[in-house]
Each structure stands twice: as structure tokens, then as C-alpha cells.
Amino acid sequence: MMDFYQAQEQLLQEAPCHLNSEATPLLQAGQRFLAQDLYATQDAPLFDNSAMDGYALCGLNETTWQIIGVAAAGGTEILRLHPGQAARIFTGAGLPENTEAVVAQEDTETTDTKLHVTTHIKAGQHIRRRGEELRKGARILPSGSLLTPQAIGLAASQGHAQLPCFPLLKVTVFATGDELVGTQTQQNLQHNQIFDSNRPMLQAMLAQQGFIHIIDGGILPDDLAATRAALARAAATSDALVISGGASVGDRDFVKPALSELGDITHWKLAIKPGKPFGWGHIGHCQVMLLPGNPVASFVTMKLLGLPALRVWGGSHRIMAMPECHQAKADFTLQPNHQKRREFLRGLLRFGVDGPTVKPLPQQGSHMLSSCTEANVLIDVPAQTDIIPGQWLTIYPL
């Protein structure tokens, strides 16, 4: 069995190449991935301007200045200062000619048109110089960048009305098993049936990713021919398949043999808990991920492995696709730890006088999805590693 971090690295390294790009309106590009480098169309700032409300001064050795006008943001009047003169100025306003410094309003006193400064003045203070942030032609966002709100704002500040984005990743989501009943059918449960929770959960996780177009594949029956046909149809129109359940070694687990007939399984079985029966492969150009059927295992593997892989398949830089993680001190003891697989415990992160501490919740069964709603982190506990209070551990926010 492969360790989690080895599997994560291999999974992300096997991302397909992206060649297509589509012009996307700026306001529709949020959470998409940039398909080409983006460049500055102008200097930023575009002109020298004031960093705060106050007064623009000329002649720093003067003791008083005569106020001759007002420079407002967006104002078109051109002011010229001479030694001993000042102009009222507001944040973002272009500087009058010959401005040597800007003094903050709270550091001044005025009498009629006379200005007095109550603090030391330094040449060039509170002035934003043209091009100090960006020069025209500079790369502002590399290809593969996630177009976050701040990235959209940066692109807008440079006048980009459209952005070159990778196409939406078409992802079909399946659940498997004759025991499953979809909640949307309004069907009453029969003996030994359960409601399908994984498919809605996985679709909700994907819906938070703005670069994905979700396709509901439905519930696959425990039948090899039907499973094989459904996967073949979906692979023909999808970029990726996400399949929950049916990938273990039971007599009625048909996803793995169906995939073996249609395409290829790159790897199957990981040394993690929950999530051992996780695998991936492909059907032609369509990538496939096999998730465990137990709800918590499906959630954990999708969070830590599935979503990062989909980000890379959708065009992200590998380093930026990795799940967010931090460090916190253990507020529990696990000794001796005989677990032979790396374990991701659902836990609570708290902040106190000793910094961040983390403690696992009491219910850790892979069928207990309620604990995923109570937890705010997953705690990475390495295999056969004793844990003592105060020990630093890796945590993944939920």
C-alpha cells in the first residue's frame, strides 16, 4: 500500500496537459484557472498621487505655506506649486506640479489660507510614485493561477475585460450500490436500504470549486455490465469521473473490474485511515477517481486527494493545488499507537495562551458523518507514532 503523501505526489504529477483556452468575461472568471500569463497594460500607479488626505507642499524649509487650491481624486485641474505654497489634497489625487511632500491633515493647523505644520517633514513622504507597484508589460498573474477575488481585482485594475481561462472541467459523480436510495426520488426505504449521502456531499464539495461543471451520474447498480456501460458513456463526455463505492474487494464491488476492462487503474489501495480503498486511473482521456463507500472515508479522500487532483486537472499549478495545512500542538495522548496506517482524525482546533491546540473527537468511525460537521480540522497522525501532549502535528482545516 502507498503512503498518503507519496500518493498525493504521484496523483498530482500525472495530471493531463491543457492546451485549450477560452476568453471569459471578467465577472464570470472567478475561481477559474488562468490559461495564459497576464500582463500589466499600464504603470501602477499610473501617476504620482497622494497616499492620504492632507496637504501637498512645495518648499520644505518654509514655516508657513499659502493654500492656493484643492487637488481631488479624479480632478482634471492642473495645479502648479511654488516654494511656500500648498494645496489641499485627498487620497488618490494626482500631485500638483513641484510637490515635494504630502503632510497628513492631522499634522497641520490652518488659519484662513495659511498652513502650519506641527511635525517634521520628510521629502517625498506620503507620495505614491508612478510605477512603484507595477511597470507596463510586467507579468501580473502566471498561467495556472486561481482567479481569486483579489486576482480579479488586480486584472480589473489593469483594464482587462476578458481573461484567458481553461475550460470548465466536466466532472461526472457516481455513487454505487443496490442499497442506496436517492433522496430526490421521495422513495421510502425498504429493508436494509439507506439514503445516498455521498453523491450529494461530493457534489456540494465540487460546487465550491468555480472551475468545475458537475454532472450527476446517479447511482450505479451492483451489476458489472450496467456499471461498465454507464462508465463508458460518462467517460465519452466528461473530463473526470468521481465514483464513490464499489472499488473494494467484495463480490459485489464492480467498479474496479469495469474500469480494468475499459481503461487502466494507476494505483489502488492507500495506507491511510479512513480511505484505504482509494484509487485512480483513466478511461481514454477521461481521468477516474475511485473513492471509498464509507461516508467519512469518501469525504476525507475527496478533501485531501480528490480536490487537489481536480484542481491540477483543471489547470492549477501543482503547488497551489495542495490542500491547506497548518501546525498545532496535541492536546491528547495516543500511546502506544499501533496503527499501521496514517490516520486522519476528526478534531477540534482551539486557540489559547499556549497557541493552537488540537484534540480529536470521540467518535471516529468511518460511517459517522456527523463528526465531520462537528470537527473543524483533520489531524494527521503518522502510522505507529506515539502522540504526547504538546507535540506538533499537521492539521487540515475543514
- Interval 144-171: pLDDT, tens: 999 999 999 999 999 999 999 999 999 9
- Of the pLDDT bands very low, low, confident and very high (cuts 50, 70, 90), residue 251 is low
Cα–Cα distances (Å) from 56 to 108, 131, 363, 387, in that order, read 12, 20, 65, 62
- Interatomic CA distance for residues 176 and 142, integer angstroms: 40
pLDDT over 80 at 184, yes or no: no
Per-residue pLDDT, averaged over 206-220, amounts to 96
DSSP 26: G
Whether 186 shows a pLDDT value over 70: the answer reads no
Task: Give all domains of the chain, ordered by start, each with its CATH number.
Answer: 4-18+167-321 (3.40.980.10), 23-43+138-165 (3.90.105.10), 49-128 (2.170.190.11), 326-397 (2.40.340.10)
pLDDT value of position 250 = 62
Cα–Cα distance, 116 to 368 (Å, whole number): 70
Task: Determine contact, residues 241/217, Cβ cutoff 8 Å.
Answer: yes
Q: Which residue has the cell 460511517?
A: 367
CA-based nearest residue to 360, from 323, 320, 331: 331
With cut-offs at 50, 70 and 90, classify the pLDDT of residue 191. Answer: confident
User: Cis peptide before 336, with omega less than 30 degrees from 0?
Assistant: yes
Is pLDDT of 64 > 70?
yes
At 241 the pLDDT is 97
CB distance 224 to 258 below 8 Å: yes
Query: What is the average per-residue pLDDT within 202-227?
Result: 96
Give the type of residue at 374. Answer: E
pLDDT-wise least confident of 7-16, 56-65, 124-133, 135-144: 7-16
In three-state secondary structure terms, 230 is helix
Query: Is there a contact between 358 and 349 (Cβ–Cβ < 8 Å)?
Result: yes
Determine which of 113-122, 207-216, 271-280, 374-383 has the lowest per-residue pLDDT on average: 271-280
Calpha distance 111→102 (Å, rounded): 18
Least Cα distance to 298 among 396, 367, 377, 249 occurs for 367
pTM of the model as a whole: 0.89
**What is the model's pLDDT at position 206?**
98
83-114 pLDDT, tens digit per residue, is 999 999 999 999 999 999 999 999 999 999 99
**One-letter identity of residue 20:** N
Letter string b/e over residues 49-79, b meaning 16 or more CB atoms within 10 A of that residue's CB: bbebbbbbbbbbebeebeebbebeeeeeeeb
pLDDT at 340 over 90: yes
The amino acid occupying position 104 is A
Residue 204 has pLDDT above 90, yes or no: yes
Q: Which residues pair with 375 in a beta bridge?
A: none
Between the CA of residue 102 and those of 62, 63, 132, 327, what are the distances in Å? 14, 15, 17, 44
What per-residue confidence (pLDDT) applies to 243? 97
**Mean pLDDT, rounded, of the chain:** 94
Whole-angstrom CA distances from 131 to 40, 159, 161, 375 are: 11, 16, 22, 46
